[in-house]
Structure 1
Amino acid sequence: MNNIFRVGKFLAGSLLLIAPCLASAAGDYPDKPISIVVPYAAGGTSDLIGRALAESMGRYLKQTIVIENKPGAAGSMGAQEMVRTRPDGYKLTLSPHGIFRQPYLQKTRYDPIKDLTYIASFSNYDFALAVDAKSPLKTVQEFVEYAKQHPEEMTVGTPGRFTGNQMVMVELNNATGAKLTHVPFKGDAEAITALMGGHVKAVVSTNTILPYYKSGTVRVLAVASKDRLAAFDSVPTFTEAGYPVVIPSPLGLAGPKGLPPEIVEKLDAAVKAATQDPVFLRAISEYGIQTYYMDHKQYADFAVKTFAEEKDIVGKMNDDNR
């Protein structure tokens, strides 16, 4: 009995010693470099935005933040990485909207609600419907009328099936009764190249289309955002044009499950600071991307709501792919 008592006292004393160390570790965070997984290839828009975010957050946290590019699996490699990551705040990931859709498309190694801690969102991708500058179609209304009069002849390129880009097409079909024909490619760049080569009549692209719009190579007919975008200031939203097509696509930061609340708070504050940092704002404005900040509580709620909604959205896109 005495031995048991002594062991109990030893364990209790050990816990008392460990507890201040854990609190101190959280209080001193970060005391070494942090890495952020960008689930896309180097040089792309998401990679460049991720690097700008890391630089700004690093200045705020007074610590180096490095980028790890892990493309593949429809942008879900970072979420998969979090499943086997220690919840100490030293490895995080960009969390694109697609991570909420992917589990409905194939078996994944992660559950977007159970396996991640949502820290904050910081920007939003926009979707633009564009045609070649030489196209006779000048407005989205003309585009819709042509599609109605030439069923299934209106070929529209996107960066792949089950993307937000395709969802724009699905919602436009539903709103107008048009019969747009989906032509999936491997990315925005490939779809735009196909448009330039006359292989498709239109594309739904992310902000990748901006340089082509600025150079006058393409004509952007409408954007699927709630409000007009500064980068496409002369282009109406679909809603303004009379079609209820609004497809948000926030990009945020997440960590593994069990991330301590005090670390989440520090990282959330760093993300918020980045969305107000002139250097970061200049960097993302080059790509026509706007800030879209949700704090960790709002972003966690958004994740739960979005994951629940994605089941029906995938069903709609499955119908479109038949």
Structure 2
Amino acid sequence: MFRRQFHVLVAALVAGGGLLATGAVVHAEAHWPSKPIRMIVPFAPGGSNDVIARKLAQRLSTTLGESVVVDNRGGGGSTVGSNLVANASADGYTFLFVSGSIATTAAVQKTPYDPLKAFTAISRVASAPFVVLTREGFPAKTMKEFIDYAKANPGKVNYGSAGLGDSTQLASELLSNVAGIKMVGVGYKGISPAQMDLIAGRLDMIITTVASIRGTPTEKLPMLAFTTAKREPEYPNVPTVRESTGLDYVVDVWWGVFAPQGLPAAIRDRMNREIGAIVAEPEFATFLKSAGAAPAPSTPQALQDQLATDVVRWTDTAKRAGIQQ
């Protein structure tokens, strides 16, 4: 009898402990955030990821009532910082601000995490178009002429990119795949030196963002087309690749926020609402425009779907181009 009473008591204590633990978690979620939040940017300071993340963190600090601190952890094509988040506690105090490079990097190298399983998607923040630029004096003056010229001269057209696995490289290789052309890629440590070589006439073409060329001599080079689905309002006379060639080619750059896998839904949804409200602010939209981007908030599921689609797309592109490590 005493043994039975002992087991009943133990079971009650265990159940009570479980309830207390559950209650503690619910309490923590209800009072989130209660301390500073770290937002890891897996790139060095100064780039588009860093600039947009800092503006977002500044506004989140105000709306959440706790400091959101940007922590730059560059290296490994974004894998160093991303891996820190993948292995962090899913308590709502560590987030990842990253571009679509989280998918392109995984397409060309084995990452220490599975990009589709290691993170909880929160929200997309912004997107930006790519633009196709050529050097002065290049024979083709339109996108259609460029494709025709490249087909007639296989292997004689070169393009510059920001390096292995960068979206500028994969966007160029995807164009080659879709158009059935053969170009020679030249990788650089960043897009700026590639743009300088395009100005100097040592490259024939680059695909890059408006943000990277704004206010530079590259902005004055011939713009053949944008890679978006619709024309860019700021450049109404520049067609899209699809419009100019009929090719099913639409590519853009996006930035989003992720957390470690297992983040409580209540915190995920709160963060999603806060980001959506900030991105909808006219001041934030103006800031993004100055950076060559536009507001592009999303649901968590939409961001997860975008990532999944991009991983498949860029992995296939990398395989076809033979650029996987």
Q: Normalising by structure 1, what TM-score?
A: 0.89
Corresponding residue number in structure 1 for 2:297 = 293
State the shift of 1:212 in Å: 4.7
How far does residue 279 in structure 1 lie from its aligned partner after superposition?
A: 2.2
Is the contact between residue 96 and residue 252 of structure 1 (CA under 8 Å) also seen in structure 2?
yes
1:55 aligned onto 2:58: yes
Identity level (%): 26
TM-superposed deviation, 1:286 = 0.7
Q: Which moved more, 1:32-41 or 1:306-315?
A: 306-315
The residue correspondences of 1:58-73 to structure 2 (distance < 5 A) are 58-73=61-76
Q: Contact 2:107–2:165 at 8 Å: present in 1 too? A: no
From 27, 31, 34, the equivalent of 2:34 is 31
Please give the residue correspondences for 1:68-217 in structure 2 after superposition, counting only pairs within 5 Å.
68-133=71-136, 135=138, 137-212=140-215, 216-217=219-220
Paired with 2:205 and 2:150, the residues of 1 have a C-alpha distance of 11
Match of 1:281 among 281, 285, 290: 285
Secondary structure at 1:32 match in 2: coil
Against the structure 1 CA distance between its residues 304 and 215, is the aligned structure 2 distance closer, same or farther, given a 3 Å change threshold? Answer: closer
Cα distance, 1:96–1:209 mapped onto 2, change above 3 Å: closer
Deviation at 1:198, TM superposition (A): 2.4
The 1:63/1:190 distance shift into structure 2, 3 A limit, reads: same
Q: Specify the SS of the correspondent of 1:250.
A: strand
Q: How far is 1:259 from its partner?
A: 0.3
Question: Corresponding residue for 2:307?
Answer: 303
Shift of 1:39: 1.1
The answer on 1:250 being equivalent to 2:254 is yes
CA 1:233–1:274: 2 relative to 1, 3 Å: farther
Q: Distance in 1 between matches of 2:86 and 2:101?
A: 17
Report the residue type matching 2:55 in the other structure: A
Provide the C-alpha distance between the structure 1 equivalents of 2:113 and 2:284, rounded to a whole number of angstroms: 30
SS in 2 for 1:241: helix
1:273 CA displacement: 1.0
The answer to which of 305-314 and 244-253 deviates more is: 305-314
**Which amino acid is the alignment partner of residue 259 of structure 1?**
L
Q: Which amino acid in the other structure matches residue 277 of structure 2? A: A
After superposing the two structures, state which structure 1 stretch, 40-49 or 215-224, moved more.
215-224
1:167–1:247 Cα contact (<8 Å) kept: no
Question: How much has 1:179 moved relative to structure 2?
Answer: 3.0
Letter in 1 for 2:88: T
Q: C-alpha deviations, 1:155-190, integer Å up to 9, x for none?
A: 211112333323332333344443322111111112
Q: 1:230 to 1:61 in 2, by over 3 A?
A: farther
Aligned to 2:316: 312
CA drift of 1:101 comes to 3.8
What secondary structure does 1:311 align onto? helix
Q: How many residues align?
A: 320
Deviations 1:213-249 (A, max 9, x none): 7885322211111111234333211011123321133
The answer to whether the 8 Å contact 1:130/1:221 transfers is yes
Q: Is contact 1:133-1:216 (8 Å) kept?
A: no
Moved more, 299-308 or 89-98: 299-308
Deviations 1:279-304 (A, max 9, x none): 22121111211122220122223333
CA distance in 2, matches of 1:132, 1:256: 43
> Counterparts of 2:49 and 2:235 in 1: how far apart (Å)?
19
Q: 1:72 to 1:204 in 2, by over 3 A?
A: same
> Structure 1: 5+ residue runs without aligned partners?
none
CA RMSD of aligned residues (A): 2.4
Distance in 2, Cα, partners of 1:103 & 1:281:
30
Deviation of the 1:136 alpha carbon: 5.9
Is contact 2:161–2:185 with CA below 8 Å preserved after alignment?
yes
